[in-house]
Amino acid sequence: MKLTSTFALLALPFGVLGRELTQTGATWGLRAISHRDAHARPWQTSLRRFEYFYDETAGEGTFGYVIDGGVRISHKELEGRAENLWTADLSPYPRNEPNYDDKTGHGTHIAGTIASKTYGVAKKAHIVSVKVQNRFGKTTSSNLLSGIHKAVKDIIDKGRVGKAVINISLGGGCQERAVSQAIQKAVINGITIVQASGNEGEDAKDYCLAPKAGAITVGNMKPDWTIHNTSNFGSTVDIFGPGTDILSLSSADDKKLRSMTGTSMAAPHVAGVALTFMSASGSPKRRHEIVSMLDSTCTKDKITGDLRGSPNKLVNNNNKKQAK
C-alpha cells in the first residue's frame, strides 16, 4: 500500500503540547529528518556536529516494538525505557531457557535510533523487544510469525493501538503468505508497521517482507541525499530515511556505540517520527492517520540521482524551526 491517503490532511499541533527543542551534537540522520535541505558537508557523517529540532514530547507515552534479534535493554542510552516481551531463542534441551541477548547488535542499533536519549528520534518512547532470531542471527518464518502475533496481541491487550509502532528490519526475500497476512491483519486493526525495503539493490516488491500488506516500506538515503546503491527501490518503497553510516547503540556493553548501514537503519528513523507524531498530537493515531501525516509532512523532491521508480520522499518530523 502506497504512502498516500484519501483522508484529509491532518493538522499536527506541534508546539501545542510541548516546546520545540534543539539537540546539538546530533547525528547526520537526525539532522536530515528535521531539516529540508542536505548538509553542505555530507562527508562529515562521522562527526556529531549537527542540530536536531524536535518537539519536547519526543514520543513520551508511546511504544516502539522491535521485532529483530533482541535488544540490550540495559544500555545506558535507553534509560530504563526498554523491556523484553518474547524470545524465540531457547537454550538447548532440556533446559529450554529463554535467551533475550542481542548477539548480532542489529536490534540494539535499531532500538537506539528509535528511542535512545542521544541518538534516537523519539527520545522518550518505550522500547519493547521481540526476539525472533537465534544467537546466530537466523530466524524462521514460524518464529517471525510468532513474534508478530506476540507484538500485535500485546499492543491490543494493553490498549496501545494508536500509541505503538512495530519496526521490522528483516526480509531478504522471505515473503511467506502467512507473515504477510499477519501484517495485513494488524494494519486493518489500526497498528502502524514499518519495514525495511531490503539491501539487494533490486526491486523491493521481490525482496521486502510484505510488499502488499500495508506496512510502510522504507529505503536507504545517503548523507548526500542520494539513494544508496544497495537499497531496494521501486513503487513498493513508500518513503526514504537516513540509512548510511548511522551511529547508534552497540550490544557489546551498556555504553558502547557502533555505526551501521542499510535499510534496516532507515526504517527506525521513520518509526521514530511516527511515534513523535503520536505523542505531539496528544491523542492516539491509527495507521491510516500516521500514513497521512508522514505523506503530508515529508520532504518532497529533494533527493537527487536516479530513484529507479521510487517516490521522492524523505521522512521529516515537521518541526517549526526548519526552513520550509
- Determine, yes or no, domain membership for 90: yes
Q: What percent of the chain has pLDDT over 90?
A: 79
- Determine, yes or no, domain membership for 323: no
pLDDT of residue 49: 82
The CA-atom distances, in angstroms, between 278 and each of 51, 56, 113 are 22, 13, 17
pLDDT of residue 324: 57
Residues in the chain: 324
Q: What is the CATH number of the domain that holds 82?
A: 3.40.50.200
- Determine, yes or no, domain membership for 145: yes
Q: Which domain holds residue 223?
A: 20-39+48-314
- Determine, yes or no, domain membership for 322: no
Cβ-based burial of 207 (10 A; exposed 0-12, middle 13-18, buried ≥19): buried
Cis peptide before 268 (omega within 30 of 0): no
Average pLDDT for residues 42-69, to the nearest whole number?
89
pTM: 0.93
pLDDT of residue 191: 99
Q: Which residues lie below 8 Å from residue 219, measured CB to CB, with a gap of 6+? A: 197, 204, 227, 231, 232, 233, 237, 239, 240, 241, 243, 263, 266, 310
Burial 108-122 (b: 16+ CB within 10 A, else e): bbbbbbbbbebbbbb
The 3-state DSSP class for residue 68 equals strand
Average pLDDT for residues 131-140, to the nearest whole number?
86
pLDDT of residue 136: 79
Enter the C-alpha cell of residue 261. Answer: 548501514
- Determine, yes or no, domain membership for 107: yes
The 3-state DSSP class for residue 248 equals strand
Contact status, residue 70 vs residue 131, Cβ threshold 8 Å: yes
- Determine, yes or no, domain membership for 1: no
Position 137, amino acid: G
The residues assigned a catalytic role are 68, 106, 264
Tell me: pLDDT of 29 over 50.
Answer: yes
d(CA 155, CA 160): 5
pLDDT of residue 135: 75
pLDDT of residue 17: 53
Look up cell 535541505; give the residue.
37
pLDDT of residue 256: 98
d(CA 55, CA 74): 26
The CA-atom distances, in angstroms, between 213 and each of 1, 4, 181, 273 are 7, 15, 7, 21
- Determine, yes or no, domain membership for 228: yes
Q: Which of 169, 163, 191 is nearest to 277 (CA)?
A: 163
Number of compact structural domains in the chain = 1
- Determine, yes or no, domain membership for 92: yes
Q: Which of 186, 103, 125, 106 is nearest to 152 (CA)?
A: 186
pLDDT of residue 138: 85
Look up cell 517516490; give the residue.
311
Q: Lowest-pLDDT range, 20-24, 47-51, 211-215, 233-237?
A: 47-51
Q: Lowest-pLDDT range, 47-56, 155-164, 270-279?
A: 47-56
Position 179, amino acid: V
pLDDT of residue 176: 86
The 3-state DSSP class for residue 152 equals helix
pLDDT (tens digit, 9 = 90+) per residue, 237-288? 999 999 999 999 999 999 999 999 999 999 999 999 999 999 999 899 999 9
